[in-house]
Structure 1
Amino acid sequence: MRLNPGDVLLLTKKASIQFTKPMTFRVIGVVTDWITYDGWVWVDGYQLDKKGDAVEKRRVFVQAAGLRVLKAAIGDGRVKRTQRW
């Protein structure tokens, strides 16, 4: 899975055990210069509230296979809704 700035993800236990309560997360970027376990990635972004507003900047360590994309970013930085909340 390729993540792009502006993608909005739903992070659950499938992404990492730390997300026992699902979290909505807007991607800023992916850390590519750190060595990780196969299938795991460091992602920078913002935790979002129920209105979609950023409430905290975070770096999370997640399994790429467990990520669920709620909104995919369009190439020019706009966001296209791919799934209803």
Structure 2
Amino acid sequence: MRPKPGDLLRVDGCASVQFGGERALTLRVVAVHLDRPTFDGWVWLTGYVLDAAGLATTKRELFVQFAGLHPLRHVLAPTGQSTRRR
């Protein structure tokens, strides 16, 4: 898959060995760096790592294989208290 800003991805060991097992993460893409030189089939991505509630925890830059990226349809609905004030 060719990601674009706004996409939600599951990044695991299929994308790069550094994300195997419990190191897998959910990423909201903010930039795709096609202008950077890489190996064929690889890409640099910038995005926010999301926690189980769908909230951004850290901004990361990842070097991954296109073929190993898993698109997600939506983020899990946040649980717990609402941040919205009434």
What is the TM-score of this pair, normalised by structure 1?
0.80
RMSD: 1.7
SS of 1:18 mapped into structure 2 = helix
Which ranges in structure 2 are unaligned for 5 or more consecutive residues? 77-86
What is the TM-score of this pair, normalised by structure 2?
0.79
Structure 1 segment 3-82 matched on structure 2, within 5 A: 3-20=3-20, 21-71=23-73, 81=74
4+ long deviations beyond 4 Å? none
Alpha-carbon distance in 1 for matches of 2:70, 2:37: 23
Larger Rg: 2
Alpha-carbon distance in 1 for matches of 2:36, 2:24: 25
Q: C-alpha offsets along residues 55-78 of structure 1, whole Å, 9 cap, x if unaligned?
A: 00010000000000003xxxxxxx
Q: Percent of aligned pairs with the same residue?
A: 49
Structure richer in strand, relative to its length: 1
Cα distance, 1:4 vs. partner? 1.6
Structure richer in helix, relative to its length: 2
Which ranges in structure 1 are unaligned for 5 or more consecutive residues? 72-80
